[in-house]
Amino acid sequence: MALTETQIERYSRHIILKEVGGKGQQKLLESKVLIIGAGGLGAPIALYLAAAGIGTIGIADADDVELSNLQRQVIHFTPDIGKPKVLSAKEKIQAINPDVQVRTYHEWINAANIMEIIRDYDFVVDGTDNFAAKFLINDACVLAGKPYSHGGILQFVGQTITVLPGESACYRCIFPTPPPRDAIPTCSQAGVIGVLPGVIGSIQATEAIKFLLGKGELLAGRLLMYDALKMKFRDVEIKRNSHCPLCGENPTITEAEDDLSLLTVCDLEQS
Amino acid sequence: MTITVNGATTELPENNSRTIDSLLEELKVSQRLYVTVELNGEILDRDAYESTLVTEGDAIEFLYFMGGGC
């Protein structure tokens, strides 16, 4: 389908980039990206992917908007308090760009639903706030061969890596097993500077767009770490780990499973 | 002994029996029980921390869990 005149104007700053062009913009409009988590990371990811004209955006989250979310979750506004986050996000996405089809999943992802939910998408972005979800997303995406972007933040530091299953290191190549519950503080316990998810989430959205366009060098096999207090970025090369329990030589994880020991998440604890 | 820790050149007192585990202690690395150690570009198995010696010129990265997104 050719771009309409309105679309040519809307996406003109993309179209003049040689890495995008009309063809690339069309590719984006035909692409499907799933964002898991409509919180701090999910907010900028959804806003930028909507503005960029990703044709279908899925967004999964079971939470409602709370007052304490608004310091950083920039897709939700004060009048949205009490509204499901996926609905609040959908309204903003559609207001930014009516080209985008939004699919909402007003539920927590778990082992029973994740394979079905991710199936139809070209790329998945992890914007969740707990290790149970982060490991589940990694396992499901690697098992399904679905490329995805991992992001994690706390206080003033964040990190992100793009996982190309079978090609580059996965999250379990770095961290074979989740930490014990409550071993690592959450944002609700330890705080987070409000702009931090804006930085990390914007990088994750960039990775999604680059992947869909097939342009540039992805953050695959490199863990990017950001320290907002020192204002420093560093990336560390991460090779695939032959002992990885998921994508190593003798995998012990062969299907997506919930880690029941981790299921209490910070937002659940709050509510 | 000179090694590189998280990209920074680090001088350590000479010690031929320094293991990864004792280095974590010596450098007071946070999240010591959960940190992942990358030694010269390879992720090190946790159960090898006590048996792996730190040697001159090693490049070591400490990789931390970061679970937030909220």
Please report, for the domain that includes residue A90, its CATH number.
3.40.50.720
Q: Dihedral angle at the C-alpha atoms of A102, A160, A207, A76, nearest 10 degrees?
A: 30
pLDDT tens for A141-192 read 999 999 999 999 999 999 999 999 999 999 999 999 999 988 888 888 889 9
Per-residue pLDDT of A6-63, as tens digits, reads: 999 999 999 999 999 999 999 999 999 999 999 999 999 999 999 999 999 999 999 9
For A44-61, give the DSSP string: HHHHHHHHHT-SEEEEE-
Task: Name the residue ranges covered by the structural domains of chain B.
Answer: 2-63
How far apart CA A71 and CA A192 sit, in angstroms, is 10
Q: For residue A209, is it within any domain?
A: yes
Say if A17 falls within a structural domain: no
Residue B68 has pLDDT above 50, yes or no: yes
Look-up: residue for tokens 């004792």?
B22
Taking phi over 0 as left and psi of -120 to 50 as alpha, with beta for the rest, B31 belongs to left
Are B67 and A183 in contact (CB < 8 Å)? no
Q: How many domains does chain A have?
A: 1
B8 touches chain A (CB under 8 A): no
What residues in A contact B31, CB-CB < 8 Å?
Answer: 179, 183-184
Residue B48, chain A, CB below 8 Å: the answer is no
pLDDT of residue A14: 98
Instruction: Answer yes or no: are the C-beta atoms of A123 and A212 closer than 8 Å.
Output: yes
Count the Cβ atoms, other than its own, within 10 Å of residue B27: 15
Superfamily of chain region B2-63:
Beta-grasp domain (3.10.20.30)
Please say whether the beta carbons of B23 and B51 come within 8 A: no
Q: Among all residues of chain A, which has the CA nearest to that of B65?
A: A184
Say if residue A267's pLDDT is above 80.
no
Instruction: Please give the residue range of the domain that contains residue A170.
Output: 31-270
Best of A196, A225, A246, A264 to disrupt the B interface (most B CBs within 10 Å) is A225
Asked, for residue A11, whether it belongs to a domain, the answer is no
Measured between CA atoms, the residue of chain A closest to residue B60 is A236
The answer to whether position A200 is within a domain reads yes
Judged by CB atoms closer than 8 Å, whether chains meet at A239 and B43 is answered as yes
